[in-house]
Amino acid sequence: MSKKSLAETKRCYHVQGGTTLKGRIQTEGAKNAVLPLLAASLLTDEPLELSNVPQVEDVHTMVSMLTELGKKVSISEDVYRIEENGDLQPNAPYELVRRMRASFNVLGPLIARLGQAQVPLPGGCVLGPRPVDFHVKGLQALGADIKLQEGVFHATSTQLKGAELYLDFPSVGATHQLLTTAALIPEKTVIYNPAQEPEVYELIYLLKKMGAQISTAPDRIEIIGQQKLSGTNYRVIPDRINAGTYLIAGAISGGEIVVECIPGHLEALLVKLREMGFTVEERDTEVRLATSVKAKGIHLETRTYPGFACDIHPQMMALMALAEGDSLIRETVLADRFGQVPELVRMGADIKAQENTAFIKGVDQLQGTEVYATDIRSGAALILAGLAAKGETRMVDSGHVPRGYVDLAGKLSKVGASIEVEMI
């Protein structure tokens, strides 16, 4: 990989509004599931093979991280085979950690395998304060000695031990971190108040296939790790956030769309789409959405899973901007999830954001103009808004959207959208 990641290359998405989407979209593998699975490959010296891996920039960043740490990654289409390539290294390079928050999750596996690690503070989308306190506190309870020096966490441990851990907030990242670490401790660890997202259960299923003993309950996860974990193979689930984006694209365009996904992972979104007046049919491995009347305004509040996902609210805001009547979004998970608001207002939306709440009055028409993405999901939201706007929307993105979507423009174009991507 070059020093300048493809994700850091600017793109302009030229979206011609007024087209109606109709057709079928296959959802790619879940980025937020595969990243901790890739990190878990550090726990074993045997090969780990993952299939249905999405070709997104965050995955490329994690692969580069594993390579720097001493792994060899062979790629054949959507199948990634991770093997040991000499001795593991304990130093995670800042150049990679700064790009993506999930790369911080190599810390625990490195401590568990090597007894030491040096990992910088993480970067990623600017979405308000997201401290790693829960990660550090949990790892210290498991026996790691961790100090922060000049922006780098220096961790050592002579012998990790099982412990009872309680997360003050059900952090997905911290749950991943502590699960992978505990899986290589041959004692019992209990994580109370863990995250319940499907991506957490994906990691649990993988670790069990690798040899860890794990049981779950609504309020806790119990892990009995092993001194050595084995390699295995695993297929990654479809991305529920991206599936939701495709469904909302169909809704905002007034079309009819079938999205291949796991419907059970989208229940909160599907309920809200029905509440807005859309026809939503769930089948075994897909969801069909059809429009017949103008969408109605609704209220929603983001919550941790199984609540409404904060990563899908920017896309819903674009839809609400054109709904009949008033809508409201209250964000309770991330401190700064309203980066798309001023850009939607530039397109003619009537939105006022106060602290963690956005008040939306539906308008009859959005107007295409030049707008800018501030993160992955705001970029997707602005592309969706462009589908319904009058004229051309030029959405300038400094590399956010490719971090989370596999050819979003191409997927939407195949079902009727008019989108061209220009490298700038």
Q: In this structure, which amino acid lies at residue 343?
A: E
Instruction: Show which residues are catalytic.
Output: 125
> Residue 229 CA to chain centroid, in angstroms?
26
Cβ contact 43:112 at 8 Å: yes
User: Is residue 328 classed exposed, middle or buried when 0-12, 13-18 and 19+ CB atoms within 10 A define those classes?
Assistant: middle
Q: DSSP states of 185-239 as a string? A: SSSEEEEES----HHHHHHHHHHHHHT-EEEEETTEEEEE--SS----EEEPPB-
Q: Which residues, other chains included, contact 243 with Cβ-Cβ below 8 Å and sequence gap of 6+?
A: 27, 259, 260, 261, 262, 265, 266, 287
Round to whole Å and give the CA distance between 196 and 202: 11
Total residues belonging to the chain: 424
Provide the 8-state DSSP code for 180.
H
